[in-house]
């Protein structure tokens, strides 16, 4: 698949305007590098600028209805479904495959590549989860306990907590994190690292929602 380069929000996802989503603008964090982008503070500023504060997440958003909407088809524990149902979260412009290999820096300008999975009103937090967890799974090939520790450290970090408060996902962050893992295996059906993500999903569910069972794949 050839990379589709996006240097501004008007090109990044349909008709998104530069004023509405300034964080997509190339050069927002320039001069810089991928290493700087990976710092939680910078990611929080970027993804925080993609939130839509005046709207609430629609149940029909890609992945949400299929994974966390509740009912017998949901793979999440009942307690997790309930917590999601109680959430009042703000949607976000989402990339869908936001990872270090999809961000290019040239002459101080940021270019985000491959917006095929982009959403104008996506699930807040999932891009951040993806950026941190996918390299750990696919590149470093970390074991389950290491992945779970990394995920929990992110969820409890000050910068993510600030973002979570802005997005309205503060008390639901673990339910949303588990939903992200379920989406990887059940909705987008990720192939690379799929087995490790499934192991992480089971371990996270057991620790965060003890006594509750995941729906079989």
Most confident range, picked from 16-30, 116-130, 142-156 = 142-156
Average pLDDT over residues 9-35: 38
Residue 106, classed as helix, strand or coil, is strand
Confidence grade of residue 193 (pLDDT, cut at 50, 70, 90)? very high
Kindly tell me if the per-residue pLDDT of 112 is higher than 50: yes
Confidence grade of residue 194 (pLDDT, cut at 50, 70, 90)? very high
Average pLDDT over residues 176-186: 88
pTM above 0.75, yes or no: yes
pLDDT of residue 31: 37
Give the residue with greater pLDDT, 190 vs 18.
190
Average pLDDT over residues 195-204: 95
Kindly tell me if the per-residue pLDDT of 18 is higher than 70: no
pLDDT of residue 201: 92
For 58-79, the pLDDT digits (tens) are 554 555 555 554 444 455 556 5
The answer to whether 142 and 133 have CB atoms below 8 angstroms apart is: no
- Structure letter (DSSP) for residue 100: G
Domain edges within the chain: 39-99+119-208
Most confident range, picked from 10-14, 137-141, 186-190 = 137-141
Kindly tell me if the per-residue pLDDT of 35 is higher than 50: yes
Kindly tell me if the per-residue pLDDT of 204 is higher than 90: yes
In sequence order, what DSSP letters do the residues of 139-180 get, joined into one string? TS---HHHHHHHHHHHHHSHHHHHHHHHHT-GGGHHHHHHHH
Kindly tell me if the per-residue pLDDT of 1 is higher than 60: no
In angstroms, the CA 192 to CA 179 distance is 18
Confidence grade of residue 179 (pLDDT, cut at 50, 70, 90)? confident
Task: Write out the H or E segment, with its range, that includes residue 110.
Answer: strand 109-113
């Amino acid at each position: 698949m050839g990379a589709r380069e996006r240097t501004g929000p008007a090109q990044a996802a349909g008709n998104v305007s530069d004023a509405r989503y300034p964080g997509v603008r190339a050069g927002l964090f320039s001069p810089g590098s991928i290493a700087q982008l990976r710092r939680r503070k910078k990611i929080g500023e970027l993804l925080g600028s993609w939130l839509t504060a005046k709207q609430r997440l629609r149940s029909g958003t890609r992945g949400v209805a299929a994974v966390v909407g509740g009912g017998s088809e949901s793979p999440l524990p009942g307690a997790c479904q309930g917590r999601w149902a109680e959430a009042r979260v703000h949607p976000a412009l989402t990339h869908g495959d936001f990872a270090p290999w999809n961000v290019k820096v040239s002459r101080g300008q940021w270019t985000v590549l491959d917006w095929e999975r982009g959403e104008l009103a996506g699930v807040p937090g999932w891009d951040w989860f993806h950026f941190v967890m996918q390299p750990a799974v696919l590149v470093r090939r970390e074991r389950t306990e290491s992945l779970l520790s990394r995920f929990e450290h992110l969820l409890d970090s000050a910068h993510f907590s600030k973002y979570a408060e802005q997005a309205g996902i503060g008390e639901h962050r673990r339910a949303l994190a588990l939903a992200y893992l379920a989406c990887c295996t059940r909705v987008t059906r990720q192939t690379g690292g799929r087995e490790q993500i499934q192991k992480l999903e089971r371990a996270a569910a057991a620790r965060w929602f003890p006594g509750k069972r995941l729906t079989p794949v």
